[in-house]
Amino acid sequence: MSAYLLGGSLPVERLGLGTMRLTGPGIWGPPHDREQALRVLRRAVELGVNLIDTADSYGPHVSEELIAEALHPYPQGLVIATKGGLTRQGPDAWAPLGRPQYLRQCVEMSLRRLKLERIDLYQLHRIDPQVPLADQLGELAALQSEGKIRHLGLSAVTVPEIERARALVDMASVQNIYNLTRQRHHDVMEYCAREGIAFIPFFPLQAGALAGPGSVLADIAARYEATSSQIALAWLLRQSPVTLPIPGTSRTAHLEDNLAARHIELTPEDAALLTRQHADSP
């Protein structure tokens, strides 16, 4: 599995780490086991992960602070991607806020918490429908011109929204929900592949309901002597060279299990069977 050039300039291994699960219940507050969360981050880097995805709303602020505590000073080549533009009102509560002055504050505070001078990839967590897109992206572009952001990305968007955004600024990545059971953003992934934009699928492992004994996923996993989660990640990696899954976990054992998917090469027949079997899953 070859590395991917994020934004055409940053080499990253295609299986990264998402850090949403390093927070408390409802993605709110600190983790139950802070030391374990720090071990997950350090172990991921030890195992070759060099793309870590986070957001200021995870906690809020908790996962960014944990990343800095665990890994700063950062090893050469580590790419930290963060996001802003969502506010938190409590556990499992999220609301977009895209006013330019707020987005500037988000970037400045993420820089401080992560102990960075420049964020390699900064993603607008949600487009705020109450604020002109040109105002939201214009402020991020201004921060980019100031040297505080290297590359820009979007999250939870459609193809028309990506096209509108690209008419305003260059986009290095798109982050959408995508996994075996939720393939409705396949058009976005195909668009990203055509345009050379990284496609970062979040929630890549929502396949638990399909992995029971006798299921297609479980049968294929048994043939590869792998877990169902590993097969689900291997399927994602096979979808396109621009696909960069970011499975998250709060346990080192689960992290190591996920990363073993890097060594699984699904046959075209097995990949197609998984796609057909689950394409219309709810």
Is 90 exceeded by the pLDDT of residue 73?
yes
Report the pLDDT averaged over residues 51-56: 98
Domains of the chain: 11-206+240-249 (3.20.20.100)
* pTM score of the predicted model: 0.95
Residue 74 annotated among the catalytic residues of the structure? no
- The bridge status of strand 86-90 relative to strand 93-96 is antiparallel
CA distance 71 to 38: 9
What is the tens place of the pLDDT at every residue in 96-150?
Answer: 999 999 999 999 999 999 999 999 999 999 999 999 999 999 999 999 999 999 9
pLDDT at 282: 44
Alpha-carbon distance of 260 to 254, in angstroms, equals 10
- Distance, CA of 200 to CA of 208 (rounded, Å): 20
Provide the β-strand partners of residue 153. 123, 173
Active-site choice (58, 102, 178, 224): 58
Whether pLDDT at 153 is above 50:
yes
Q: Which of 59-63, 202-206, 278-282 has the lowest mean pLDDT?
A: 278-282
Taken in order 7, 53, 57, 143, the sign of the CA dihedral is negative
Query: Sorting pLDDT into bands at 50, 70 and 90, what band is 276?
Result: confident
Q: How many CB atoms lie within 10 A of CB 149?
A: 23
Q: Does position 170 have pLDDT exceeding 80, yes or no?
A: yes
